[in-house]
Structures are given as C-alpha cells and as structure tokens.
Amino acid sequence: MEETRHEIEEENTRTRSNTTEEEEEVLEYEEEDIEEGVEKCNHSLVEKLVTDKNINPTWVQTAMFNIWRRPEDFKMVEIRPKLFQFFFHKEIDMRRVLKGNPWMFRNSWLLIKKWERGVNPAEMDFSRTEIKLQIWNMPEHCKTTTLGRKIAARVGEVMECNVFSAGLGKGNFLKASVMIRIEDPLKEGLNMGSKQDGLTKVEFKYERLPTFCYFCGRIGHDVANCEIAEAEEEHTSGSKKGLGAWLRADIIGNKVEHSTEQERPTKMGDKETEKGTQQGKGEVLEKMAKLTMKEKSQQCIEYKEGSKVSNREKAPHQTAEVEIITIKETNKEATDHGEEDKKRKESQENKRRRKRPNIFIFEEMWLQNQECKEETIRWREDIIKQNFFHFEAEQILNIPLDQNQQEDCYYWKESKNGEYEVKKAYHLICSQPQNHAQDCTWTQRFWFASPFNLRTERAQNHSIGAWIEESLNQIGKGKRGLFLECLHVIWWGRNKLIFEDKKIDIQELVNRATLRYHEFTVMSRPTENFTAEPPPGSRSLMCWVPPEPNIFKLNVDAAISNEGANGGGAVIRNSEGEIMVAATWSFSTTSIIEAEATACLLGLNLALDCCFFDLALEGDNIDVIRALKGNDTHRNYFGILVSNCKQALGKFRFVHISHVKREGNR
C-alpha cells in the first residue's frame, strides 16, 4: 500500500515538472514575421480623450474621419475607454493630423502622440500638451517678447513668443506657445511690476480651450462634475478662483513682423493719458522702494524700465486673493493694503447693485441674475417653482439664459432692439394720428381739383388703410393707378412745403400726377421688339454654392405660423456638396427674427458637437447676419440669442458669416 502511494507521488512530481517546463518555454520570432504589423503601426497615432464623460468610440471614429478630411483606409482601435489608436494608409495624412495636436472632440481635448515600438500605449504619458497663451492688459512699453517669455514661463515651458495685433484700433498683445501640465489648474493671470512703474495685473486668455472647471480651474470636467466643488459646496458660494468663460480667447490676431525687443517710446500726445492711468503712482513707488519680491502661489514678475502702469480693476467675480509682496519691517502698514482693496471692491459692488432697476414681484425684488446660478448659468428651479404657478414656472425655465452673464437692464418692448425710441412712444400715445392724405385742408383742396370725386370726411375709427381701400373701390379699376400716383404727389408736395419752404400750386401738382401716370402707362405697353432677355446687371436665380476645400458650410433657416407650429433646421455639407449632418427643431418664438436666431444658435451648437471647426455660416435673414457681424447691443430676447451665437462662434478655428438669398439657402 505504501509502495503504491509512493509511486503515485512520484508520478505527480514528474507531471508538475513537465508542466513547468512547458510554461517557461519561449517562442522567439523574427523581424520578418511581424514586418507587416510594424509597418501598419508606424503609420498610426495614439490618442487620449481628456473628459470625464462616457463617449461612444463610434462617435469618435466618425467625427475624426470627417474632420481629418476622410483619410484613405482610416481605421480606429479602442485600447481602453477614452484611449484609441488611429491607423493611416498615407504618412502625409498622419503627419498632418499630428501637426494639429491637440484636436477637439465635443469640446474636449483629443491628445495625440506617435506610436512608439516597445512602449505600451496604455502607459504613454499624456500629462502635457502645447497651448497658445495670450497675455493682455500690459503697458505698451512692456509688450516685448523678452518679458513675454518670462511671464509665459510661469505657466509652463515656453516654446515660442511673439507680438500679435488684435486689429485696427485694438492694440497689440503677446502670444506664447506653452507646454502645460493638464492636471494643473489654469491661471487667470499674475502680477508684475517694477520700482519705476508699480504693479500691473496681467490677464491670460487661452486659445482653443476645452471644457474646464470654473471652480478648480482644471481641464476635463465642469463645475457640475467637480469633486472639489461638491466637497466645499457648504463652505463657499460661487467660483473658488473667479474663473469663467473670459479665459477663452475670442480673437486669434495677426503676427506683428519685425518686432523689436526694445521698449516702445511714449508719444508726446499721450502724456495726458499716461497721467490719468498713473493714479496714486507716488504712493506705489514709495512702497516699492521698501519691498522685496518673493514667489508665492501666484508670483510677481519684475520688469526693469518703463513709465506706464495700469490700475484697471476687474469685476468682483474675477478677483482672486493673491499674496505677492513681502513688506520690510519699516513699512508694516502696507500689509493691510489688500484688505482695503477688498473692502473698496465690495463697496463698489454694493453700489452697482443699488443702481440696478427694482422689479418687485410678490412684494420682493425679482431679477433674472438672482434667480440663476452664476457658475452653471442655469435657473434656480427651486425658487422659480416656489414663487410661480406650474405652467408659469415651466415657461420661465424654458427661457434660455445669456451665456455672457450680462447685467439686468430695462427693456422697451415696442422697439426691435429693446432701446427706447421717441417715435415709437409717440405712436403708442397717439392712438388716432392725423391722416394727412385725407384730413388736412391743403390735401382736401388737392382732391377737389383732381379728377376724382372722393369723400374726404373722416368716419369714426376710420384708419388710413380703410379709407384708401374704400377710395379704390369707389374709383374703379381704370383710375386706380392715377389715384396711387396722386398719393405720391401729395407726399412729395408736402415735403417740399415743410422741409424746403417751397409752395407748389395745387393745379400744378394735379398736372404732375396726371403726366407721371401717363408716362408710366405708355412705358408699360408691350412692343413688337420686346425680348425676354434680362436687363444688364440683373442677377439670375441663385443656387447653393459649395464651400472651399476643407471648409464645411452650415445653412440655417426657420419658419413660424399663426397656429404656433414654429421651428427651424440646419444642414452641414462639405466642399463636394455631401450632407454631413442635418437636423430640425421645434421651438416657441414670437417673431421670425427670433426664430432665425434660434435656428442659427442650434445649428452652431450642432457643428460644435460634430467637431466641424472650420465653418462657413449662411442664412437668408439679413437682420440676423448683420447682428452677428456687428457690435450693436439688443436688450430684448433677440439680443440674448445673438450674444449666445457670438460666444459659440468664438469656439471655431475658422468661421465665415455671409448672407444669401432664399433660393440659395438650401
């Protein structure tokens, strides 16, 4: 029995030994065995999507395929959630995509790196990327690339720095290419100064900035999904760092060639301006003489020469408490300067609030800005539903809010742009304006001398339109044209009398109307030599025109009806006329211009969601197109729509806005 057990144990030992030898066996392969696979991967890129949202990989593949101009034999493999490997057939396509890093997908960064053999894609470092940093609010003599590099170095590794022009009459600014760490919070600016110029708060703006948190300043999530904001919600209100949409650059600018590193001399004509911008410079210089510069959480940069300092204050919600100066023992009273500034700004904010119009509902002041959350720009549903009926609350919650968070203001509903107009107020007060074509003595004498036998006395509640309609029916078809010409002559003769003080005889006016009508009748008769050819300079029927290569065209349109069935639509095509995406929406508006602006806003958001960042926008409503191109302010609901459209336009890499006639808007 014992011998049998011993034999079984020996057999098990031999089996385990053979299994171990088989597991440790290694198969060595040659380079020629994987040559095809290595060749494919050499033409591939590894991408990471920086977002906290769950994304369907198919959406990423479809969107990037269209954005990257449909590269040949394009393929995508998902390595793990939000980490992909894209394969290209041609190396030129791969290099073009790599050059545009980072790309945007649904307002989130898509970071790209070239595939490296021997490196696991899941272990590749995507913690850094390059971004364009704009530096604003600098004195003119400080706008040099040397100082710009020092400032940008506080944000990240500086790759390049140049001076850019913001446009005619808007001055210059500095722009630097900076390699930043994605996990680091964004900086809204820093303080710089010198003993000669004092302190200046420099402001930062970032180009092509993706979704970021207004609370913690980190890229990849918003305030609603911020763990830090949720943890500190009970202890603070608003934004922790005073961040907001103003960190996004709204202009790209043009590079200034032949810029020098020397300070720009101040013109003699600018002395008054310079004097006005240096309030309290003596006190600042006195304190600067006794202080030392020390790096803190937001450092202060010292520049050596200059004469101009900016004392512009930011809005209270943009202010961050920054400790940048360590005062020597001989000037301890200067340490309280920050508290004084804080109290002064709070006082200014209270004054600004008192100047707002008081709108009382339920015996309490009710303002839009008090009923919505500043950090998320959404209505406070609990307050709305508590103070209004259910159907009223639903209507209020469906009102879109202005993403630029403008202050509340009075709105004159009788005008298109919300501004008060004396003419509109006059028509509102005078419910029964005088009918000059019928009532006045001068006009009655004209009608007496005319070939018409018209009744000129005014009936009760008789409008000018009703009188003209009644007169046309009384005259008959044969003389209606002459009657309309008489109306024009009355208008012309009264203008001559009122504005030029030229009195024209009544009979002469009647003869003028008769002669003009006779000429019109003769010219309107058909002739034997009539041809259907259009006159020179006339335009033929327009049709839809495709955009330039690599540009996508967005056409928007809307319609309203008396039954309330309002809606709009949008279609995006490529340069070959192929429809990339199309959509329709139903919404509630009171006018056609609001419907057109709503369709435009929804169309722009659709283009952003589909990552079409090179866009040509077309519409057939000239008022909407002019509002998008201009700088006029509208206080009504249409103004909010235009403001939101302009904010959406700032997120595109390239955008061209144009008006097209209805037949060309397809």
Give the per-residue pLDDT at 328.
Answer: 38
pLDDT in tens, 3-45: 555 666 666 666 555 555 555 678 888 888 888 888 889 999 9
pLDDT in tens, 628-656: 988 877 777 888 888 889 889 988 988 99
Residue 612: φ, ψ to 5°: -95, 90
Residue type at 2 in one-letter notation:
E
Q: Which of 447-461, 502-516, 559-573, 601-615 has the lowest mean pLDDT?
A: 447-461
Residue 596 has a CB neighbour count (10 Å cut-off) of 27
As a whole number of angstroms, the distance between CA 146 and CA 161 comes to 8
Give the per-residue pLDDT at 439.
Answer: 61
H/E stretch holding 570 reads strand 567-573
As a whole number of angstroms, the distance between CA 196 and CA 285 comes to 7
Quick one: average pLDDT of 424-438?
63
Residues in CB range of 165: below 8 A, 6 or more apart: 171, 172, 253, 254, 255, 256
Give the per-residue pLDDT at 87.
Answer: 94
- Binned at pLDDT 50, 70 and 90, residue 306 comes out as very low
As a whole number of angstroms, the distance between CA 575 and CA 625 comes to 22
What does the domain layout of the chain look like in residue ranges? 34-123, 128-209+248-262+288-346, 360-397, 441-523, 552-664
pLDDT in tens, 368-424: 455 555 555 677 777 777 777 777 788 788 777 766 556 666 667 777 667 777 777
**193 or 278, greater pLDDT:** 193
Quick one: average pLDDT of 438-462?
68
pLDDT in tens, 233-274: 655 544 455 688 888 888 888 888 754 444 344 343 444 444
Give the per-residue pLDDT at 170.
Answer: 77
67 has a pLDDT exceeding 60: yes
Give the per-residue pLDDT at 49.
Answer: 92
Q: Where are the alpha helices (DSSP H) in 224-263?
A: 227-231
336 has a pLDDT exceeding 60: no
Q: Give the SS3 label for residue 34.
A: coil
Domain 552-664 part of CATH 3.30.420.10: yes
Domain 34-123 part of CATH 3.30.450.20: no
pLDDT in tens, 79-136: 999 999 999 999 899 998 988 888 888 888 899 999 998 888 888 889 899 999 999 9
Give the per-residue pLDDT at 270.
Answer: 44
Query: What percent of the chain clears pLDDT 70, i.e. is strictly above it?
Result: 68
As a whole number of angstroms, the distance between CA 641 and CA 638 comes to 5
Residue type at 516 in one-letter notation:
R
Quick one: average pLDDT of 583-594?
85
Residue 340: φ, ψ to 5°: -65, -40
Give the per-residue pLDDT at 312.
Answer: 40
Residue type at 507 in one-letter notation:
Q
Give the per-residue pLDDT at 251.
Answer: 84
Give the per-residue pLDDT at 552.
Answer: 93
Quick one: average pLDDT of 544-560?
90
Residue 82 has a CB neighbour count (10 Å cut-off) of 19
- Binned at pLDDT 50, 70 and 90, residue 284 comes out as very low
315 has a pLDDT exceeding 50: no
Q: How distant, in Å, are the alpha carbons of 160, 165, 628 from that of 131?
A: 11, 19, 28
354 has a pLDDT exceeding 60: no
Give the per-residue pLDDT at 202.
Answer: 93
283 has a pLDDT exceeding 70: no
Quick one: average pLDDT of 562-586?
86
310 has a pLDDT exceeding 80: no
**Residues forming beta bridges with residue 174, ordered by sequence position:** 135, 163
531 has a pLDDT exceeding 50: no
Give the per-residue pLDDT at 144.
Answer: 93
276 has a pLDDT exceeding 50: no
Pull the structure tokens for residue 508: 């002469």
Q: Give the chain's mean pLDDT.
A: 75
196 has a pLDDT exceeding 80: yes
Q: Which of 162-166, 318-322, 638-642 has the lowest mean pLDDT?
A: 318-322
As a whole number of angstroms, the distance between CA 608 and CA 649 comes to 9
